[in-house]
């Protein structure tokens, strides 16, 4: 599928090594599998593809355009970057990149940085408020552009980390699903990279020499819960390679009868063989 013929400009200059070709095929295949497994495609829909300038969002953008280019993703794609007013943010990098790649896009400026830093003490992390403000603005842009879905670059490791953050700090078994309906009920949130490993995104973006923009708002803060969980998972993976994938598969193999939530399974109504039916 990906070996011969024309390709989207986002893949121009791709390495010709066998290892890169295998990496590219794997990422595209995994994204396509997630899209199909979770019923993301509505033929003729329009997706707002959120582009932060990080390795994950570049990978997402390239893969979706490749699938669209191949006729495997019958939706319209609109890339969107939200410039949040961070000091020193290289505001010309993404517009120039998207223009050179021929990618339809909208760059939206909203100074959420000032709001976050004014309301959140420097001793606390900015992530929650920053994410909330960013998501609200992206929903607004999606509505203005007539999009039916907001598409994010969260990958397998993000989903695992969120699961353990909820487990350790939130007291619940939950994570970021590949497909979600927003609270207002008018937009889907999709995560097509749900099956893709972070290491693959990192290697793909690096090999493609995409112009990576780091997140300097919260990345400089120490002691983030997500960083701690990530370090824990890294340790497990080092001691037992493949453990991340095993844990991820468990999220797709839930057994309510072997958990403790009576809202998900009728423990009180369990009957032994031979027990009379309740009247």
Q: What is the pLDDT of residue 215?
A: 67
Sequence-distant (≥ 6) Cβ neighbours of residue 17 within 8 angstroms: none
pLDDT tens figures, 202-246: 999 999 999 998 765 554 444 578 889 999 999 999 999 999 999
How far does the chain reach from its first CA to its final CA, in angstroms?
Answer: 60
Q: Six-digit token pair at 159?
A: 């989903």
- In the chain, % of residues over pLDDT 70: 92
List the alpha helices (DSSP H) in 3-54: 18-37
Task: Give CA–CA dist 106/78, Å, rounded.
Answer: 7
Sequence-distant (≥ 6) Cβ neighbours of residue 12 within 8 angstroms: none
> Is the pLDDT assigned to residue 164 strictly greater than 90?
yes
Task: Give CA–CA dist 94/98, Å, rounded.
Answer: 6
Residue-wise DSSP of 89-154: --TTHHHHHHHHHT--EEEEE--HHHHHHHHS-TTS-SHHHHHHHHHHHHHHHHHHTT-SEEE---
Q: Which domains does the chain have, with CATH numbers?
A: 14-258 (3.40.50.620)
> Is the pLDDT assigned to residue 94 strictly greater than 90?
yes
Q: What is the pLDDT of residue 276?
A: 86
Average pLDDT of every residue of the chain: 89
Identify which of 148, 47, 40, 160 has the alpha carbon closest to the alpha carbon of residue 105.
47
């Amino acid at each position: 599928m990906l070996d011969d013929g024309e390709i989207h400009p986002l893949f121009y200059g791709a390495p010709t090594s066998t290892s890169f070709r295998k990496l590219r095929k794997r990422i595209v295949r995994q994204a396509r599998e997630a899209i199909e497994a979770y019923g993301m495609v509505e033929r003729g829909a329009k997706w707002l593809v959120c582009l932060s300038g990080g390795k994950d969002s570049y990978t997402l953008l390239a893969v979706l355009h490749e699938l669209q280019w191949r006729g495997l993703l019958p939706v319209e794609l609109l890339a969107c970057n939200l410039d949040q007013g961070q000091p020193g943010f290289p505001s010309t990098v993404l517009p120039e990149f998207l223009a050179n790649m021929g990618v339809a896009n909208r760059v939206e400026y909203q100074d959420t940085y000032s709001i976050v830093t004014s309301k959140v003490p420097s001793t606390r992390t900015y992530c929650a408020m920053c994410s909330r403000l960013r998501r609200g603005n992206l929903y607004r842009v999606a509505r203005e552009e007539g999009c039916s879905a907001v598409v994010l670059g969260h990958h397998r490791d993000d989903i695992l980390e969120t699961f353990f953050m909820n487990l350790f700090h939130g007291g619940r078994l939950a994570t970021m699903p590949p497909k979600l309906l927003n609270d207002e009920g008018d937009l889907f949130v999709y995560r097509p990279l749900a099956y893709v490993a972070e290491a693959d995104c990192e290697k793909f973006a690096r090999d493609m020499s995409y112009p990576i923009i780091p997140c300097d708002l919260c990345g400089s803060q120490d002691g983030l819960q997500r960083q701690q969980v990530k370090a824990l998972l890294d340790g497990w993976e080092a001691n037992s390679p493949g453990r991340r994938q095993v844990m991820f598969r468990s999220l797709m193999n839930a057994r309510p009868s072997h958990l403790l939530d009576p809202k998900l399974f009728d423990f009180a109504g369990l009957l032994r063989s031979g027990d009379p039916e309740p009247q």
